[in-house]
A and B are shown apart, each in its own frame.
Chain A
Amino acid sequence: MKVKQWGGVMRSLTIKALTEVGILVPLIIGLIISFGIMNPLFLSLFNFKSVLTQTTYLGLLTMGEMLPLIVGGFDMSIGTLIAFTSVVTTMTMKMEIFADPTAMVILGILAGLLVGLGIGLFNGLIIAFLKVDAFVVTIGSMSICAGAAFVLTRGHPVFGLPEVFKTTLGKGEIIGGVSLPFLIMIGIAIGLFMLMNRTRLGRYWWAIGGNIRGAIHSGISTRKYTLLAYVICSLLASVSGVLLTARAGSGELTMGASLMPQAIAAAVLGGTAIGGGRGNVPGALLGAFFITMLLNGMNLIALGSFIQQVVVGSFLLVAIIVDRYLRRLRLRKEAEIWTID
């Protein structure tokens, strides 16, 4: 009854490998080689470290965005949430409640994370409990976050932050030149990976996105876990917002605007399925790394930022098309008849 008619084992293995890790690994290797030829500086240790540091922010955001995508939704609000977080964090820091700047920094960070928690709960509760379409809800909260950030600041960036904030979280270096923000991101990545692969959380998320009725029939409290996906997503976006603010040294209103499409692109390139059921932490990180590296490489060969935009968009399109094609190849014969028309 089983149909196993692949031409060769090698071909089958290649397809399997490519569908599991996505097409990113070959893409990244290809990119490193071509940029390396065009500008040898690209291959320097210094540049490599700089790419890793830059990956921090997009990496956090991508891991976050991955979760709503896995449970079959979207989060469009993470870009403006970064700006909202940035503004709230910096404004809180400047309130001068305590004399100690470190205490103010901690207070500011907490306030920023609270914003993330609030928006995540807002999105998640409406989507999970009222069953409103995720796209509409998060596009609504995207608008709300952007508006709130502007209304709070009347359109001006917030300057004059405690030095301790900028030095520690902005450019803080620890061992061997690896920055603190990067270590934070790695720590969060490991934590999220453990959550998804060593506890039932990941399985439940994949189940909800893959087949919600099946998840319900298996006794999974789908609403709770859907809510959790949005909350963690917003929290990660807020962490990213705080770190970006520390790096920029001021509370910025336009921060993160370009990051939302990049995060979605990175997640999807890393194997997360729009529509749900598929996606994992290593893939998301690779996706973020790929996009950051692509932007960095294009900077080094002096491509204008608008041409970069065009290139990123085109890469996304092509990569998705290839990915779809590979997955179709892997479906077994009978299953194919039912899933593809």
Chain B
Amino acid sequence: MTGNHEPLLQMRDITKTFPGCLAVDNVDFDLRCGEVHVLFGENGAGKTTLVNVLSGVYPADKGDIYISGKKVSLRNAHHAQSLGISAVHQEFSLIPELSIVANLFLGQELGSHGLLDKREMGERAVTFMKNLALSFDVDLNEKIAYLTLAERQIVEIAKAFMRDTRIMILDEPTSALAETEKLSLFKIVARLKEEGKGIIYISHVMDEITGIGDRVTILRDGKKIDVLENREDITEAHLIKSIVGERKREIYPELGTEITNKVLEVNNLSTKSGLKDITFDLRAGEILGIGGLPGSGKSNVGRALFGLDKITEGEIIMSGEKLPKHLTPSDSLKRGLIYSPADKLEGLALCRDIKENQSLPVLLEKFAVRGFIEKAREIEAVREQIEKLDIKPDDMNKELQYLSGGNQQKVIIARGFLKGATIFIFDEVTRGIDVGSKIGFFELINKLAKGGAAIIYISSEIPELLHLCHSVIVMYEFSIFKQEDHKELTREKLAHYLFALEGRALK
């Protein structure tokens, strides 16, 4: 199934540096007609930079690009598009105040003599969305601002497919999609392949890579490590090995067995954000997984416990003490509960340094005497965390915007340590993070629990829920659908629960 061998795209010796960081280092990359070529590698390995160079977002410092054997120099995104390169980017490129139709045609509006042909665009958009066969029943004149995340991602994908494309770049296109929508997307990808187009696919999800990849190029630290040329070579084991390098180890650590007293009791909790009747207990030493499809409300459980979503009914009891109904983050922090949000950027002050970011939630409590900061004590504590968590770079005066995603995440975790928190809530802690760092996080979280902390682990990854957690709660339509112990759970059962199917075979 490896398409024909006609080279559609060749990238030679591509190098790109950013201030203080060599993002892509002399990388060669080929794409043939009719193949799905996966770019795989750790976060910060240079995948996104490489495709950004290809889609004309910024120029490479060095290197040549050939399309169908002809050398091109990409001036900007518009130029790249005119050469038939389309991209679904990680960060959404939609315009909130424009309608779906306007977004689909943005940059290539139809019309003549400078005047737009709105009716034609509307009709074409409707036909196009129908042919795409993604489940989507929103009025196409609705503004993007009023769509849900998943709906936006669908529009984003549709927009890229709308372009007359020879090379399609899909950079983590499925992060907000439900399972059925993913399947439809893969069908479209298959269709593109048949039409002889080239697809560059970036993903961290193993199943997707092994499922649709024809070839895989593996990047590490901006360099090309390996190319898996045959479909048979594309296996989970292989991929993980290539990422972890020589250090091959078990991904999920052994679960701790010492689960002691109840530290958190949630009774009939309902929130303004829509949660209904949530009840569960959490014990010291326990890792409690919370899973669910996008829009199932799983993130809201964490937000409600931390005081970010307004509670309408029910109670939260922490270590025997009933929490106030108008819970605020500072109430939760004071009692030793710390929350790491799904959107990393939500938690961090990017233009301030590591030190300030780490100590922010505990500044008053740990380092301030009558409101004045004891700098020596603060610096010492921060340095200790940087060493313990191996935060790179290890310069505490570095502004956070220069750190990779994984290291930014570590800064948030360091806050929990500084705080001496007893309850940690992690929401999608491994989203967009490379496999190597993931393993590090799993061990870290496991060690935390074994040390007596209680952990709520919110995730959309089935394997993580299955292997990392003692017990898993599955959310569906903002209620608990099922809670089950890890010993009884299987991959299939969990998948059934996620779609709220019980005892029926999953189609």
Contacts and interface: CB of A to CB of B under 8 A. Distances in A.
- The answer to whether A and B touch directly, with their CB atoms under 8 angstroms apart, is yes
Interface of A: 1-3, 198-200, 203, 206-207, 209-211, 213-221, 277-278, 330-335, 337-338, 341
A208 B89 CA distance: 17
B98 interface: yes
A334 B149 contact: yes
Interface of B: 55, 57, 76-82, 87, 89, 91-98, 102, 106-109, 111, 114-116, 137-138, 145-151, 178, 273-274, 294-295, 299-300, 303, 308-309, 343
A332 B77 contact: no
Given A219-B108, A333-B274, A338-B149, A277 B78 contact: no
A341 B375 CA distance: 31
Contacts of A206: 95, 97-98
Contacts of B94: 211, 214
B146 A335 contact: yes
Majority SS at the chain A contact face: helix
A218 B114 CA distance: 18
A1 B145 contact: no
Contacts of A198: 115-116
A64 B57 CA distance: 31
B264 to A, nearest CB: 22
B57 A1 contact: no
A2 B154 CA distance: 13
Contacts of B308: 341
Contact of A277 (B57, B80, B82, B96): B96
Given A1-B151, A200-B109, A217 B97 contact: no
Contact of A218 (B107, B149, B299, B309): B107
B145 A335 contact: yes
Contacts of A1: 148, 150-151, 178, 294-295
Contact of A331 (B107, B116, B145): B145
Contacts of B116: 198-200, 203
Nearest to A331: B146
A216 B146 CA distance: 22
B499 to A, nearest CB: 12
12 contacts: A2-B148, A3-B148, A3-B274, A199-B116, A200-B109, A211-B93, A216-B76, A217-B93, A219-B81, A277-B95, A333-B273, A337-B273
Q: Which 8 residue pairs across A and B have the least CB separation, nearest first?
A: A219-B78, A214-B93, A218-B107, A217-B93, A219-B107, A210-B95, A334-B148, A218-B106
B93 A218 contact: yes
Nearest to B138: A2
A1 B300 CA distance: 16
Contacts of A338: 149, 343
Nearest to B91: A213
Most buried by A among B102, B148, B299: B148
A216 B98 contact: no
B163 to A, nearest CB: 9
A215 B106 CA distance: 8
A300 B483 CA distance: 71
Nearest to A277: B97
A213 B137 CA distance: 27
Contacts of A211: 92-96
A52 to B, nearest CB: 30
Given A1-B148, A203-B109, A218 B77 contact: yes
Contacts of B82: 219
A54 to B, nearest CB: 31
Contacts of A333: 273-274
Contacts of A200: 109, 111, 114, 116
A341 B76 CA distance: 35
B95 A217 contact: no
B147 A335 contact: yes
Contacts of A341: 308
Nearest to A215: B95
Contacts of A278: 97
Contact of A332 (B91, B109, B147): B147
B148 A214 contact: no
Given A221-B78, A277-B96, A332 B146 contact: yes
B214 to A, nearest CB: 26
Nearest to A210: B95
A72 to B, nearest CB: 12
A2 B151 contact: yes
B98 A210 contact: yes
A333 B114 CA distance: 38
Contact of A330 (B98, B146, B274): B146
B148 A220 contact: no
A330 B299 CA distance: 22
A213 B92 CA distance: 8
A337 B148 CA distance: 10
A38 B168 CA distance: 66
A1 B107 CA distance: 29
A265 B138 CA distance: 35
A194 to B, nearest CB: 8
B440 to A, nearest CB: 28
A277 B95 CA distance: 8
Contacts of B108: 219
Given A203-B109, A338-B149, 17 more contacts: A2-B138, A3-B148, A199-B114, A206-B95, A207-B98, A210-B96, A211-B92, A214-B92, A214-B94, A214-B95, A214-B106, A217-B93, A218-B77, A219-B82, A334-B149, A335-B149, A337-B309
Contacts of B96: 210-211, 277
Contacts of B138: 2
Contacts of A337: 273, 299-300, 303, 309
Contacts of B78: 219-221
Nearest to A203: B102
Contacts of A214: 92-95, 106
Most buried by A among B79, B89, B106, B114: B106
Contacts of B303: 337
